[in-house]
Structure 1
Amino acid sequence: MAMMRYAEALNAALREEMQADPSVFVFGEDIGRYGGVFKVTKGLMEEFGETRVRDTPISEQALTAMAVTAAMTGTRPVLEIMYADFVPLTLDALVNQASIYNYIWNGQVKMPFVLRTQGGGGAGAGAQHSKSLDSMLAHIPGIKVVAPSTPADAKGMLKAAIRDDQPVVFLEHKLLYKMKGPVPEGYYTVPIGKADIRREGRDLTIVATSIMVQKALDAAAVLESEGIDVEVVDLRTIRPMDKQTVIDSVKKTSRLLCVYEAVKTLGIGAEVSAMIAESEAFDYLDAPIVRLGGAETPIPYNPELEKATVPQIPDIITAARDLVKGVR
């Protein structure tokens, strides 16, 4: 194992895939000479040249249409959209082209492209640079949506996404880029569509993604000192969701807390809750399912107000404690 930051793991994945496959290229705003706002593409232009590492104008709609065309004609583009807040500008190409071409052409057209973007609050970036749009993107059939929470998963899932023949939206949280963790040496991938149990427990299941996995693990450590044993399930892939892992966990613990950063209404937690309600796990529940999501508001710029709009570790502790003790 090598210790890497999340951003370094992504950089390594891009470099290795570009070395292995000349059809892989990356493009986006400030990703070349500048190396990306978060330095994920640092050094790639120097190694692979301006043809395979391309700085582009600010035109998200045009860039995504270019990625669709490039993917259809035999290359594997990796497009970076600087901040998830601007992904809505890409939706025509994503929804009306990328997501449906394999279907309408009966499998004759492949669409191997990755759209990388950064989301989430906590960086004081204000309402226009802090959104979490994962559930909106995951609603679209034909698009895979992933949100890794560790450096090892970031590298392995990005490699898997680049090799996938269908479009993958790769969601990265801004606060995870500096996170350090062990990353396997040598070749490996992490499968898309498979959740991971980050912590085993018997009293409560917490289902989370991205940075909320780390917050859930921190909360679980505190709750352990109170005699509450929490199981933390990292979805990793939002679409297609690994339903069986969640169902099996809930059947074991009999309680479910869904934690996610996006606005609570119609978020990932709603889908997870409905999935459990429609499965055999429903009969195992000893308490109502609880969703802990973001506030129904744009993300404020003020740091204290920003914290109040997004679930924090104390919020997770309180919700989990109340759920296990029957307060909810």
Structure 2
Amino acid sequence: MKYGIDIGHNCPPVDTGAVGIRKEDELNKQVGDRVIEKLKALKYEVVDCTPSFASNLGNSLYKRVNKANEEKVDVYVSIHFNSGGGRGTEVFAISKEGKDIAKRVVDAIATLDYVNRGVKDGSWLYVLKNTKMPAILVEGGFVDSKEDMQRFNAEKTANAIVKGLTGSTVNEKDSENGDAKPSVDIALLKMQNGLNILNILDYTGKKLNEDGIMGEKTISSVKRFQGIVGLEINGINDLKTNVALANILSKPLLKFGNNNIVANRYIQWRLNIIIDGIFGNDTEKAVLKYQTIKKINVDGIVGIITWNGLIV
């Protein structure tokens, strides 16, 4: 995974940021440098897309986008702070994949007690319109908000952005040493284990490394699972996804006419038949066929023995 990090503005005298209680250029730089260090510590490839000089504002924006496109980064992240009398954090994006990333980032920053202004349409922003990869523009807070500036912490903000991007955080010492020790999300660790039990493979066709880190492979498996069981496909380890996973792992009794849509859909997926969540004639026939092949009790009911054959 290659990230393109654009430290907003910071290209004087033609491209400088807003000024309020604090200077945006200073905050962008403090956060951006840390984000780059932390991503490198986590062994990601990072391209600094911030230009050192430009002839005018348009040229500054062009150079940022051109660098990301030339280097063929996988995700572009432009780091900014807002102004104009509001407060809180928001992240702009255009594509579906960009908006998924943006939601993870804005939610992570909001845990630092910022108002969560959500994901915003970035179709009017040059750097998002002209990059060829999923791209986001982060507004970490308002430089003219006393409340936002009192809670600003560059280290925490950088960790929140990195967690939104990768699922991991890196403490300051490890980041400086280049020897990352990612924090482990126990809930995510349990989800990875559950996905492996259910044989939900990642985009490479392999089971997940159960490490408690929300990397791209885990996100791809979560999305696959969400699609199978009929949830919103967002790649987020949210409550609905966990409930669906627990439902299936509990091995509920399934038979003709039952209303457990989530478990029915999973069974249909495993038996390679049309997935509609309805345990009707086609699903019963498929279960009977499976039981016959496996030489287990042929009754068309998914009980504990049939479940054990499917997910253990």
Determine which structure has more spread, i.e. the larger CA radius of gyration: 2
Considering fraction of residues, name the structure with more helix.
Answer: 2
Give me the TM-score of the superposition, normalised by structure 2. Answer: 0.31
Give me the TM-score of the superposition, normalised by structure 1. Answer: 0.30
Considering fraction of residues, name the structure with more strand.
Answer: 1
Greater RCO, 1 or 2 (C-alpha within 8 Å, sep 6+): 1
